[in-house]
Amino acid sequence: MLFPDDFSTWEQTFQELMQEEKPGAKWSLHLDKNIVPDGAALGWRQHQQTVLGRFQCSRCCRSWTSAQVMILCHMYPDTLKSQGQARMRIFGQKCQKCFGCQFETPKFSTEIIKRILNNLVNYILQRYYGHRKIALTSNASLGEKVTLDGPHDTRNCEACSLNSHGRCALAHKVKPPRSPSPLPKSSSPSKSCPPPPQTRNTDFGNKTFQDFGNRTFQGCREPPQREIEPPLFLFLSIAAFALFSLFTR
């Protein structure tokens, strides 16, 4: 791992990359802790990128890895002399567990440092020398075992604390989960089945009778209709016939 304080290695690698792509171009790279996001002076351009870095709290010694370490660069060219200068600021993060702690400086692997400088050189070549645009190297291609998704910790990000909008420009935004779509309403009215008849017991001495004989209704079939009672005149005829038989004996 290399520290940003060992910036001479950064400057040397930057010069080598520029000479490979643009021989004769003279660009300088300096570390500047005074530049801020969206605060480039007149005639300067701004370039931002987020990379993978590792932090360690100087108070509790807790360490963590972040895929959203912000690197800010301000550049000013002198195209007539094919030269220019670039100023870089590496933003820190605070420990989530300690209250009132300082912003810690991240550590980077050699591969990450080369990626940062490659992206910066490609941006300079594209903006000031008309080179074609080259896609930036992603964190996922570095094979680091770290979760790259998730919300950006704006409360503990140094770049977010300095930005007038309250967030650094490349703060990771997580899309809110989609709410489940409501089920489509059926146009045809639903047919409700009548509730099954309840069984009622009636005691007569030692015998028990069930009013409906434990009948079971299936599906939406209508309950059976009551039987038609015999007419009154039938009972009267039977009674008259019984009296006639009694008197004729």
Sort 72 into a burial class: Cβ within 10 Å, 0-12 / 13-18 / 19+.
buried
Give the predicted TM-score (pTM) of the model. 0.62
Domain boundaries, the chain: 7-162
pLDDT of 218 higher than 80:
no
Tens of pLDDT, residue by residue over 82-94, are 899 999 999 999 9
Task: State residue 140 phi and psi, 5-degree precision.
Answer: -65, -25
Q: Percent of the chain beyond pLDDT 90?
A: 47
How far apart, in Å, are the Cα atoms of 173 and each of 95, 164, 204? Answer: 21, 18, 78
pLDDT of 26 higher than 50:
yes
CA angle, 89 as apex, 87 and 90 as ends, to 5°?
Answer: 145
What pLDDT does 132 receive?
78
What pLDDT does 131 receive?
84
Contact between 60 and 98 under an 8 Å Cβ cutoff? The reply is yes
How far apart, in Å, are the Cα atoms of 151 and each of 47, 104, 144, 154, 210? Answer: 22, 20, 19, 9, 68
